[in-house]
Amino acid sequence: MWLVDWDLPKEEHVNRVRLWRKIQDIKKRLNGDTLKYSSWSVIISSSEQLAQEIHQAAKALGAKSSLYALEDFKLVSKYRGRRKTTQSAKIET
């Protein structure tokens, strides 16, 4: 499994749209490769090629992008809309 995480500044709305269009084009070309969205700026894929291309597309549009290879990936829970953070769920930094 592969995870791509990118960050485009809020002021770069045009580049956000361009990136999402590029992701759709990549998905069409690599028909059959799986892609899951974790958020608006994170994807998880079983395809290294798909992840690499999205990572490169994000960087080309000026995003700070990271690509991670995931080992022993297991989905613990699905995010379903906004949720309130409880005291026990907070992570101390």
In three-state form (DSSP H/G/I as H, E/B as E, the rest C), the secondary structure along 52-71 is: HHHHHHHHHCCCEEEEEECC
What is the spatial distance between Cα 43 and Cα 54, in angstroms, rounded to a whole number? 9
What is the spatial distance between Cα 44 and Cα 4, in angstroms, rounded to a whole number? 7
Tell me the pLDDT tens digit for each residue of 10-23: 776 788 888 888 88
Domains and CATH numbers, the chain: 2-69 (3.30.70)
Tell me the pLDDT tens digit for each residue of 53-74: 999 999 998 889 999 998 876 6
